[in-house]
Chain A
Amino acid sequence: MGKNVKIKRGMDIPLEGKPSTHIHAISTSTTFALKPTDFKGLVPKLRIKQGEEVSVGDCLFTDKKNDKICFTSPVSGEIAEIVRGDRRAITAVKILADSSDYKYKEFDTKGYSSKSADDIKSILLESGLWPFITQRPYGVIADTDVSPKSIHVSGFDSSPLAADLGVSLRGQEASIEVGFEILNKLCEGGVHLNLHAKKDNTIYQNIKGVKVSYFEGPHPSGLVGVQINNIDPINKGDIVWTIKPQHVAFIGKLFSTGKLDLEQNIVIAGSEVNEPAYYTTRIGASVDSLMKDNYKSDNVRVISGNVLTGKKIEKDGYLGFFDNQITVIPEGDHYEMLGWLFPSYARPTLSSTLPLSKFLKKSFSVNTNPHGEPRAYVVTGQYEKVLPMDIMPQQLIKAVMAKDLELMENLGIYEVIEEDVALCEFVCTSKINVQQVLSEGLELMAEES
């Protein structure tokens, strides 16, 4: 039924600061934040006021375009602040969490196995779990009015320093099982679970009714977009949903208990972390509470997510909605004399022009210096080496730059989202911000459709 796919193109970037498998419980964060900016193209409509008391699962804001989609509070407490950015756009809703037991909003999930797809949908929407479902094309929150061709879940994360889900989700097997049962109800086309062929998959062993495929090979083998392209490619007009296993577990927990529980184990890793390991926290936790004095140095970049696709956050920022990882690496804001010719320290690379880095170094403390200035495209054949999809990446990116909608469509822009081309951006000799370019293309396509 499922397929076995060996991914050959791609690369693993070995970074220093790999997490130990120890899971730390940490004293809970006092403030939490939900950031509308975590969602592409979202215009939020506030449902609460500053100072209001909320329970876990109370709606904080909805999508202005579709007010059925709720974004709910991960904790109970008081709305501390509504942060606004440029043109008064809401950038975060901060909640001061109750210090002791949380108050939970109850959802009517009893007898979920006999509930209809529509009932399940409305529970997901009301509880704020719906936004975890991402839709392709465009990589946006799933449209509530369509039934997708299929739902894909990547059972492992191959990104740099990513969590080993076998560790972070251990003990949540039952929730994951229920979660998949719910997903199965949402999609007639079938749910795909894409696993790593060589990794421990015990957390998924009881899941029924899904098509299991096996993948192996370097990053980006764990990216769901790469997996879809290899086993069930998206054609024009197709809608495919994707969701991550940790979020499937949230769904399972909600339906088995009737309560929203956004607690999860995240990874805090990177060369500037004293104790890289797993930590138990919730969506929207403050970096302060997570990191405390875990920084090795001062001049660091804190990333919610991994180094390739994550978002830069400040030391007083908050964990992103979709993220189960915080990476801390040194900033690269220093000059390097003749650094292009004589690199003064090892840096990850795909290029054999840096043989010492490429072949000898086992892991890197990598900083945020781009190691060169942006240039026009000169080198060819580079992106293809790290994008194991039937896509012509450089031609696609050039089509986006030229705003040629028809060509973008023909070259398969529906099949990719930003994270799929993150490695292309990493290896780019001309230092082109490939993810940003693609993002503009996706936005343009979404507008036109």
Chain B
Amino acid sequence: MKFLRDQIDKIKPTFSEGGKLSFLHSTFDAFETFLFVPNHTTQNGAHIRDGIDLKRTMFTVIVAMLPALLFGLWNVGHQQSLALTGTDGALWDNFFVGLIQTLPIIIVSYGVGLGIEMGFAQFRGHPVNEGFLVTGMLIPLCMPPDVPLWMVGLATAFSVVIGKEVFGGTGMNLLNPALTARMFLYIGYPSSMSGDSVWTFLPEGSETVDGYSGATNLGELASATAEGKPWSDDLLSASIMDSFWGNIQGSIGETSVVACLIGAAILIASGIGSWKIMLSTVLGGLFMGWVFNISGADGAYMDMPAYYHLIIGGFMFGAIFMTTDPVSAAQTERGKWIYGFLIGVLTVLIRVFNPGYPEGIMMAILLMNVFAPLIDYYVVQSNIKTRLNRVKV
């Protein structure tokens, strides 16, 4: 430890103001503070401070995403094996295939994103903010396994620059950066982000087994709705239990409800993710599903049990990891309830009424990101009003 510290102290002047590499100051600072909590002391205000900082906060979120990531790695290989041979491969084979396909996506996401962040930090004379550590992991998790790397890079760059930095960087952004990246690809390259052929990574020129279909639950439901078929469990080629455990086709990290729930447990136990938002999102989804159930309207989606909505597609992944981004979510405590509930409601609404967008949660979250400041505004106004009313009484 002492040796490492000495080495850092030795090269520090090079990166400090006036040094040869001072243009890399922010980057150096980011790595230095990663390795060593600085020897600063409090100079004004409270003399002692809580042990928590943004690094630990962000790291906790990454830990919470690990179950989803690990499951996703296995599932990418598992799905490929099912598509190519019709049987499941060995555990480590699946894992290896998934790693080979996913690792480059993660590297590109972090490399491009952190590179841009560090550049902006240097340009602005700011320290590098830890927020991207989470975004950089969320982006791969919500990508289809088949996504080309250049798209990942492009989308990441778009989300960091347009989604975040133009607003002033971490803490100032309006939209969830990871979903901004996904949305960018969804709109810009729909054929690579939706349909029946992107959810399983297949090597070029490979042949799938007979009976293989690349359709997801959401896709099947959307087409059943379009064809006017009534609801039955048979519409879903993957059973609801499969969807719950997650051995189905889908984006890399979002298929397993179980893995997401483990993440939720970590986020809630550590107090980092807002349980209010998670719970209200779930309640909103259930509520809207239930409304459709009792509406009397016919159709595959209308009669599907409401709780299916929570299990199929990316609902849980979104509700746990995406809605709870504290910057783009509502920031008042009452606002969080409204924000989450409306996300749940909108997700189901979009799924049911808009077959063009099979997955509703991405749209719902981004839409509510935009409305979050408005929700907060009204919550704040109500606090102001009670204060004004006090005077009149």
Measuring CB to CB, which residues of chain A are less than 8 angstroms from any residue of chain B? 13, 233, 235-237, 301, 303, 307-310, 312, 327, 329, 331-341, 343, 347-354, 357, 366-373, 375-381, 384, 390, 392, 394-395, 410-412, 418, 422-423, 425-431, 433-436
Residue A369 contacts which of B1, B37, B55, B271 (CB distance < 8 angstroms)? B37
A369-B40, A378-B131 known; A353+B271 contact, CB < 8 A: yes
Residue B391 interfacial (CB < 8 Å)? yes
Residue B49 interfacial (CB < 8 Å)? yes
| 30 A-B pairs whose Cβ atoms sit less than 8 Å apart in the complex | A235-B391, A301-B41, A308-B48, A329-B47, A335-B39, A337-B1, A337-B4, A338-B34, A340-B55, A341-B56, A347-B51, A348-B51, A353-B56, A353-B272, A354-B51, A367-B48, A369-B41, A372-B52, A372-B53, A372-B54, A373-B33, A375-B54, A376-B171, A379-B272, A381-B326, A390-B387, A394-B331, A429-B50, A429-B53, A435-B44
Instruction: Determine the distance from Cα of A308 to Cα of B47 in the docked complex, in whole angstroms.
Output: 6
A412 touches B387 (CB 8 A): yes
A348 touches B50 (CB 8 A): yes
B331 touches A333 (CB 8 A): no
B270 touches A425 (CB 8 A): no
Residue B295 interfacial (CB < 8 Å)? no
Instruction: Determine the distance from Cα of A409 to Cα of B390 in the docked complex, in whole angstroms.
Output: 14
Instruction: Determine the distance from Cα of A13 to Cα of B50 in the docked complex, in whole angstroms.
Output: 10
- Determine how close the nearest CB of chain A comes to the CB of B133; give it in whole angstroms: 12
Residue B36 interfacial (CB < 8 Å)? yes
Residue B327 interfacial (CB < 8 Å)? yes
Kindly list the 4 A-B residue pairs having the minimum CB-CB distance in the complex, ordered from nearest. Answer: A372-B53, A376-B171, A339-B37, A351-B52
A301 touches B270 (CB 8 A): no
When C-beta atoms are compared, the residue in chain B nearest to A426 turns out to be B46
When C-beta atoms are compared, the residue in chain B nearest to A301 turns out to be B47
B383 touches A390 (CB 8 A): yes
- Determine how close the nearest CB of chain B comes to the CB of A428; give it in whole angstroms: 7
* Docked complex: B209-248 residues within 8 A CB-CB of A: none
The residue in A349, A366, A381 that gathers the most chain B C-beta atoms within 10 A of its C-beta is A381
A307-B47, A337-B35, A348-B48 known; A380+B383 contact, CB < 8 A: no
A368 touches B45 (CB 8 A): no
Instruction: Determine the distance from Cα of A307 to Cα of B321 in the docked complex, in whole angstroms.
Output: 37
- Determine how close the nearest CB of chain B comes to the CB of A437; give it in whole angstroms: 9
Q: Mark B9-28, 1 if CB is under 8 A from A, else 0.
A: 00000000000000000000
New A-B pairs, 15, CB < 8 Å, besides A307-B48, A378-B170, A422-B45: A312-B43, A331-B41, A333-B39, A348-B51, A353-B52, A353-B56, A371-B37, A375-B53, A379-B54, A381-B326, A422-B46, A427-B50, A428-B50, A430-B171, A431-B53
When C-beta atoms are compared, the residue in chain A nearest to B41 turns out to be A368
* Dominant SS among interface residues on chain B: loop
Instruction: Determine the distance from Cα of A160 to Cα of B43 in the docked complex, in whole angstroms.
Output: 19
Instruction: Determine the distance from Cα of A48 to Cα of B116 in the docked complex, in whole angstroms.
Output: 62
B52 touches A429 (CB 8 A): yes
Which A residues lie within 8 Å of B383 (CB)? 390, 392, 411
Instruction: Determine the distance from Cα of A427 to Cα of B51 in the docked complex, in whole angstroms.
Output: 8
Instruction: Determine the distance from Cα of A428 to Cα of B48 in the docked complex, in whole angstroms.
Output: 11
A333-B39, A348-B48, A376-B170 known; A390+B386 contact, CB < 8 A: yes
A353 touches B57 (CB 8 A): yes
Residue B130 interfacial (CB < 8 Å)? yes
- Determine how close the nearest CB of chain B comes to the CB of A76; give it in whole angstroms: 34
Residue B129 interfacial (CB < 8 Å)? yes
Which B residues lie within 8 Å of A333 (CB)? 39-41
A410-B384, A410-B387 known; A430+B54 contact, CB < 8 A: yes
Measuring CB to CB, which residues of chain B are less than 8 angstroms from any residue of chain A? 1, 4-5, 33-57, 59-60, 127, 129-131, 169-172, 269-272, 274, 326-327, 329, 331-333, 336, 376, 380, 383-384, 386-388, 390-391
Which B residues lie within 8 Å of A354 (CB)? 51-52, 56
A368-B41, A379-B57 known; A339+B36 contact, CB < 8 A: yes
- Determine how close the nearest CB of chain B comes to the CB of A11; give it in whole angstroms: 10
Which B residues lie within 8 Å of A233 (CB)? 390
Which A residues lie within 8 Å of B130 (CB)? 375
* Dominant SS among interface residues on chain A: loop
When C-beta atoms are compared, the residue in chain B nearest to A374 turns out to be B127
B45 touches A371 (CB 8 A): no
Instruction: Determine the distance from Cα of A22 to Cα of B326 in the docked complex, in whole angstroms.
Output: 48
Instruction: Determine the distance from Cα of A332 to Cα of B50 in the docked complex, in whole angstroms.
Output: 13
B47 touches A303 (CB 8 A): yes
Instruction: Determine the distance from Cα of A396 to Cα of B279 in the docked complex, in whole angstroms.
Output: 27
Instruction: Determine the distance from Cα of A372 to Cα of B5 in the docked complex, in whole angstroms.
Output: 17
Which A residues lie within 8 Å of B34 (CB)? 338
A341 touches B57 (CB 8 A): no
When C-beta atoms are compared, the residue in chain B nearest to A430 turns out to be B54
A376 touches B39 (CB 8 A): no
Instruction: Determine the distance from Cα of A445 to Cα of B55 in the docked complex, in whole angstroms.
Output: 35
A431 touches B5 (CB 8 A): no
A347-B51, A372-B52 known; A379+B391 contact, CB < 8 A: no
B49 touches A371 (CB 8 A): yes
A341-B59, A371-B53, A384-B333 known; A352+B48 contact, CB < 8 A: no
- Determine how close the nearest CB of chain B comes to the CB of A379; give it in whole angstroms: 5
The residue in B129, B130, B376, B387 that gathers the most chain A C-beta atoms within 10 A of its C-beta is B387
A13 touches B48 (CB 8 A): yes
A349 touches B50 (CB 8 A): yes
A353 touches B270 (CB 8 A): yes
A352 touches B38 (CB 8 A): no
Instruction: Determine the distance from Cα of A391 to Cα of B1 in the docked complex, in whole angstroms.
Output: 45
A372 touches B41 (CB 8 A): no
A235 touches B390 (CB 8 A): yes
Which B residues lie within 8 Å of A340 (CB)? 37, 53, 55-56, 59
- Determine how close the nearest CB of chain B comes to the CB of A414; give it in whole angstroms: 9
